A and B are shown apart, each in its own frame.
Chain A
C-alpha cells in the first residue's frame, strides 16, 4: 500500500465534519488537527509502532461519520431503554450515553452532585477549565487517529470532580454503536481537581454485529492528591474496528489506577500514555485481552517517569485462542533526573491454540541511576502440573483447563473496583472460557 492511497483514505474519513463552533479556540484546535490529518498517512506495518498490527483491512472499507446522518440509516437497529438497562451499572451515580458518538440525553442521568455532562454544553458552562485541558494531553502531532478524532471534536463526555470531593459511586460512560459502516469519534475529558477522588467507567458496546469504526480519545488530568480509578471495557462487535488513544497526566502525589479489558473488535488498538509529571505520583495500569477467532488486540502503553519519586505498576495479560493475535508494547521511560523511580511491569500471555500468536515487547528506557525498574514477560500454555493437580482432585481435563484459564484472566478483572461490573465480566470470561473453542480439545 503506498502513501498516496493511504493519505487519501484519511481525507475520505475527513468528510462530513461538524459545523464550526462559536468558540474560536475550539475551531483553531480542530483546524490544526485537520492539517495534521492532511499531513499524516495511515500507519503501515513498516512503522515501528504498528509493526505487528496491520490495519489495512480498515482502509479497504469506507465509513461515514455518524453525525452526518441525521436520520437512522437503513440497517440501523433501534436502541431502546431495555438495551441500555442491559448494560447499566447498578452502583452508578451518573451515566452518560453516547449513541454512535452522539450524546443521548434521554438515556443519561446525573445524581453524582458533580459535573458529569456532555462536552458540547460543558465548553460554555466550564469554559476556562475545558479550554485549559481539552486537546492538551492527547498529542495528535504524529498520531493520525488522535488527529482525526480531534478534527471531529464537537461533543463527548465531560467529568469534573471538584476540589476535595470524594465520589464513592462510579460514573458510567456508555458508548453504544448502532450503525453499520459508521465512524464515530467518542471523546472524553476527565478533570480531577486537588484532593478529589472518583471512579470512571468507559464502556464500549455494540447493539448488533456490524462493521463500524470507533476512534476514541480520552484525556484525564489529575491535580495534586487526586485519585482516579479508570475502568475501560471494550466489548465491540466482532466485525468492528476500535482505535483508542488515552492520555493521562498526573500532578504531585496523585494516583491513577486503570483496568482495561479488551474482548471485542476485529482489530483493536489501545494507546495509553501516562505522564507522571510531578513528584510522588503513582499509577497502576492493568490490562486483559481475551480474544479468539481472527481477532487482533493491540495494547501500547507508555509510562513516562518525567519526575523523581514516582511509582508505577503494570500487569498486562492476554488469553489468545484460535487464529487470534495479541500485541503488547509496554514502554517505561525514566527521564534524566527522575531519581528514586520505582517501576515494575509484567506481561503474561496464554496461548490456547496452535494458530494463536503473541508479540510482546516490554521496553525499558532509563536515563537515571537511582531507580528500581524491573520488567518480565512470559508466553506459554497452561501448566501441565496445575492441570494434573486439578484432575487429581476429580475435575475433568476440560473443566481443569477452563478453570485455570478463567483464573488467569480473573486476576486482572478482580482489580475492577465496581462490584456489579466485575461480576458481569467474570461471568463473561467464564462463558468465554467454557465455549467449546476454548480448552475443550482434550476430552477426558
Chain B
C-alpha cells in the first residue's frame, strides 16, 4: 500500500512551465536607486516615493527574524531583481489585445480567463508578475461605486484614498519583510467598497510568478466603508524553477462600522521537488483592522504550496462588538515547511474571534501552527475559541503547535483546544471493506478533517481546494 501511496504523493507539479514573454527587468540589487527607479517607472507621486524610502531606511536597520520554526539558506537581497513587468503595451480595450502568449499560459493552467470569468460571474484582476494586464467587470463594479483596480492605477486615480489607508494597518516598519515590501512593492490589488454597498460578486485575483529570480512584492489594500461588504478571493499557482523565489507580500484590510470583509486564499505555489530543491519562499504579512463597531473580518486560507510558508493573517479588533475569524488548512509534503497561524488582538468591548486551523504534514515536512490571542485590558467581554488539529502522515514529518494566549481582562473568555491524529490502517481497512480504495479513502478522510474550513470557502474554491488536497496527498499514506 505504501508504494502506491508514495507514487500518488510524488506527482509532479502540474503547473510548472515558463512562458516566454519579454520582461522589462530591472538590474539586480536593492538600493535607494532601485527604489527611485521603481517609483519613476510607475510615475508615482512624491509622497509614495518618500514612504518607500522611509521603509527602506527602517529595513536597513532591521534584522532578519530568526524565531520562526523554519530553516533556509540566507537570502541574498542583492541577487534579486526588484522590478519586472511584461513589455509595456498600449492600454487594452478588450481581451483580444492581451498578449496571446499570456493567454496561452492561463490556458495551460486551466483558467480560460474570459470564459471562466463569465461562467463564474467573477471579476478577475489578473496579475502577471507585477503589473495588471487585464481587468474585467470593472464597469459593472463601477456602477455601484466600487473601485477595483491595480494598486498602481489606484495611486494614479484615487491618490487620497490610497494615501489615507496605505500603511495604516501594516506600518512601513512593522516587520522585516513588510518593510522590504513597503520599499519595493510593484503592484497588487486595490479595492474600495463605499458606504452601504454590498459587492454584487466575489472578487478574485490570480497571481503568477513568472520571471525567474524576480521576487514578487505585491501589495493589496481593501477598504470596506460603513455597512459595506465584500468577499475577496486570491488563488495562486507558479511555474517550476530550481532557484528559490522570494515572495513577500503585504495585505491590508480595513473594515469601518458594520462592514464585512471575507478574504479567501488558495495557495499552490511551487513547493520544490521531492528532495526539497527549489520552491517559493512565501513570507507574507496579512492583517485586517476592524476599525468600526460591529465590523467583521474573516480569513480563510488553504496553503498547499511554497517551499516555506510563513504567514499570520491577523485581525485587530478595535471596534466594539467586532468579529475576527481565521479558518486555515495548511498542507506540507516532502521537505516543505510551514509556520503559519493567526493573531487576534482584542481591543474593543465584546469582540469575538474564532480560530480553526487544520495542519496536515506528510513526507519530511514540518508544519507549525503559531497563534496569538491577546485580550487587552479594554476588551471587556471578549471571547475567543481556538481549535488546532494536526494530522501526521508518515514517521518523518513534524507537527507543532505554539499558541500564545495573553489575557488581561477577567471578563474575557478564551478557549484553546488542539489535537493530533493520523490516518490509521484501521480507517483505511474500514473503507476497503466497503469497496473504497486507499486513494479515495485518504481523500475522503482528509476532506472530512478539513470540512470546517472548506465550508467557509466560496463554492468554486471549495471544489478546487478539495481537488488540490487530494492531488497533493495521494500516495502519502502507508
Interface residues of A (CB under 8 A from B): 48, 52, 336-337, 339, 349, 351-381
A61 to chain B, nearest CB (A): 27
Instruction: Provide a sorted-by-A list of 30 A–B residue pairs whose CB atoms are within 8 angstroms.
Output: A336-B395, A336-B396, A349-B407, A351-B407, A351-B409, A351-B410, A357-B407, A357-B408, A359-B406, A361-B403, A361-B405, A362-B401, A362-B418, A363-B401, A364-B401, A366-B392, A366-B398, A369-B395, A370-B424, A373-B419, A375-B401, A375-B418, A376-B416, A376-B417, A377-B414, A379-B375, A379-B414, A380-B412, A380-B413, A380-B414
Interchain CA distance A356-B409 in the complex, whole Å: 7
Q: Which of B67, B408, B411, B420 contacts A371 (CB 8 A)?
A: B420
Residues B402 and A363 in contact, CB atoms below 8 Å apart: yes
Interchain CA distance A368-B390 in the complex, whole Å: 12
Interchain CA distance A141-B383 in the complex, whole Å: 41
Check A378/B415 contact, CB under 8 A, given A336-B395, A337-B395, A364-B420.
Answer: yes
Interchain CA distance A366-B396 in the complex, whole Å: 10
| Chain A residues near B405 (CB-CB < 8 A) | 358-361, 377, 379
Q: Which of A353, A356, A368, A379 contacts B392 (CB 8 A)?
A: A368
| Chain B residues near A52 (CB-CB < 8 A) | 406
- Give how many A-B residue pairs fall within 8 Å (CB-CB): 113
B68 to chain A, nearest CB (A): 12
Give B391's nearest chain A residue, CB to CB: A369
| Chain A residues near B407 (CB-CB < 8 A) | 349, 351, 357-360, 379
Interchain CA distance A369-B420 in the complex, whole Å: 9
Interchain CA distance A336-B392 in the complex, whole Å: 12
A188 to chain B, nearest CB (A): 32
Most buried by B among A352, A356, A367: A367
| Chain A residues near B415 (CB-CB < 8 A) | 376-378
Residues B420 and A362 in contact, CB atoms below 8 Å apart: no
| Chain A residues near B67 (CB-CB < 8 A) | 48
Interchain CA distance A353-B412 in the complex, whole Å: 11
Q: Which of B397, B410, B411 contacts A367 (CB 8 A)?
A: B397
B390 to chain A, nearest CB (A): 7
- B residues 387-441 in Cβ contact with A at 8 Å: 390, 392-422, 424
B339 to chain A, nearest CB (A): 12
| Chain B residues near A358 (CB-CB < 8 A) | 405-407
Interchain CA distance A359-B406 in the complex, whole Å: 4
Mostly, the A contact residues are strand
Interchain CA distance A301-B377 in the complex, whole Å: 27
Interchain CA distance A442-B339 in the complex, whole Å: 45
Residues B403 and A363 in contact, CB atoms below 8 Å apart: yes
| Chain B residues near A380 (CB-CB < 8 A) | 410, 412-414
Mostly, the B contact residues are strand
Residues A377 and B403 in contact, CB atoms below 8 Å apart: yes
| Chain B residues near A356 (CB-CB < 8 A) | 408, 410
Q: Which of A339, A351, A354, A364 contacts B418 (CB 8 A)?
A: A364
Residues B410 and A374 in contact, CB atoms below 8 Å apart: no
Q: Which of B397, B398, B406, B409 contacts A354 (CB 8 A)?
A: B409
Most buried by A among B67, B377, B399, B420: B420
Contact pattern, B 347-389, Cβ under 8 Å of A = 1, otherwise 0: 0000000000000000000000000000101000000000000
Interface residues of B (CB under 8 A from A): 67, 375, 377, 390, 392-422, 424
Give A383's nearest chain B residue, CB to CB: B413
B337 to chain A, nearest CB (A): 13
B45 to chain A, nearest CB (A): 39
Give A376's nearest chain B residue, CB to CB: B417
Give B414's nearest chain A residue, CB to CB: A379
| Chain A residues near B416 (CB-CB < 8 A) | 362, 375-378
Interchain CA distance A363-B424 in the complex, whole Å: 24
Interchain CA distance A380-B403 in the complex, whole Å: 17
Residues A362 and B409 in contact, CB atoms below 8 Å apart: no
Among all A-B residue pairs, the 4 with the closest Cβ atoms: A351-B410, A369-B392, A377-B416, A364-B401
Give A52's nearest chain B residue, CB to CB: B406
Interchain CA distance A360-B405 in the complex, whole Å: 5
Most buried by A among B394, B396, B419: B419
A360 to chain B, nearest CB (A): 5
| Chain B residues near A374 (CB-CB < 8 A) | 417-420
Interchain CA distance A370-B399 in the complex, whole Å: 12
| Chain B residues near A355 (CB-CB < 8 A) | 377
Given contacts A364-B401, A376-B416, could you give 20 more A-B pairs where the C-beta distance is less than 8 Å? A336-B395, A351-B412, A357-B407, A361-B405, A364-B390, A364-B399, A366-B398, A369-B393, A371-B392, A373-B418, A374-B418, A374-B419, A375-B416, A375-B417, A379-B375, A379-B405, A379-B413, A380-B410, A380-B412, A380-B413
A290 to chain B, nearest CB (A): 15
A356 to chain B, nearest CB (A): 6
Check A370/B422 contact, CB under 8 A, given A357-B407, A365-B398, A380-B413.
Answer: yes
| Chain A residues near B419 (CB-CB < 8 A) | 373-374
Interchain CA distance A382-B420 in the complex, whole Å: 30
Interchain CA distance A353-B399 in the complex, whole Å: 36
Interchain CA distance A349-B410 in the complex, whole Å: 10
| Chain A residues near B390 (CB-CB < 8 A) | 364, 366
Interchain CA distance A367-B368 in the complex, whole Å: 11
A255 to chain B, nearest CB (A): 23
Residues A361 and B414 in contact, CB atoms below 8 Å apart: no
B380 to chain A, nearest CB (A): 9
| Chain A residues near B392 (CB-CB < 8 A) | 366, 368-369, 371
| Chain A residues near B375 (CB-CB < 8 A) | 379
A166 to chain B, nearest CB (A): 36
B402 to chain A, nearest CB (A): 5
| Chain A residues near B400 (CB-CB < 8 A) | 363-366
Interchain CA distance A352-B404 in the complex, whole Å: 21
Residues A352 and B397 in contact, CB atoms below 8 Å apart: no
Interchain CA distance A287-B139 in the complex, whole Å: 63
| Chain A residues near B421 (CB-CB < 8 A) | 372
Give A370's nearest chain B residue, CB to CB: B422
| Chain B residues near A379 (CB-CB < 8 A) | 375, 405, 407, 412-414
Give A362's nearest chain B residue, CB to CB: B403
| Chain B residues near A362 (CB-CB < 8 A) | 401, 403, 416, 418
Residues B418 and A361 in contact, CB atoms below 8 Å apart: no
Residues B412 and A369 in contact, CB atoms below 8 Å apart: no
A307 to chain B, nearest CB (A): 14
Q: Which of B395, B403, B414, B417 contacts A368 (CB 8 A)?
A: B395
B412 to chain A, nearest CB (A): 7
Check A357/B406 contact, CB under 8 A, given A336-B395, A367-B398, A381-B411.
Answer: yes
Residues A353 and B417 in contact, CB atoms below 8 Å apart: no
Give B423's nearest chain A residue, CB to CB: A369
Give A373's nearest chain B residue, CB to CB: B420
Give A372's nearest chain B residue, CB to CB: B420
Interchain CA distance A376-B390 in the complex, whole Å: 14
Interchain CA distance A364-B421 in the complex, whole Å: 13
Interchain CA distance A362-B415 in the complex, whole Å: 12
| Chain B residues near A339 (CB-CB < 8 A) | 395
A401 to chain B, nearest CB (A): 12
Interchain CA distance A368-B400 in the complex, whole Å: 11
Most buried by B among A349, A366, A378: A366
| Chain A residues near B408 (CB-CB < 8 A) | 356-357
| Chain B residues near A364 (CB-CB < 8 A) | 390, 399-401, 418, 420
Interchain CA distance A362-B377 in the complex, whole Å: 22
B336 to chain A, nearest CB (A): 15
Give B406's nearest chain A residue, CB to CB: A359
Residues B404 and A361 in contact, CB atoms below 8 Å apart: yes
Interchain CA distance A48-B410 in the complex, whole Å: 25
Give A344's nearest chain B residue, CB to CB: B419
| Chain B residues near A371 (CB-CB < 8 A) | 392, 420, 422
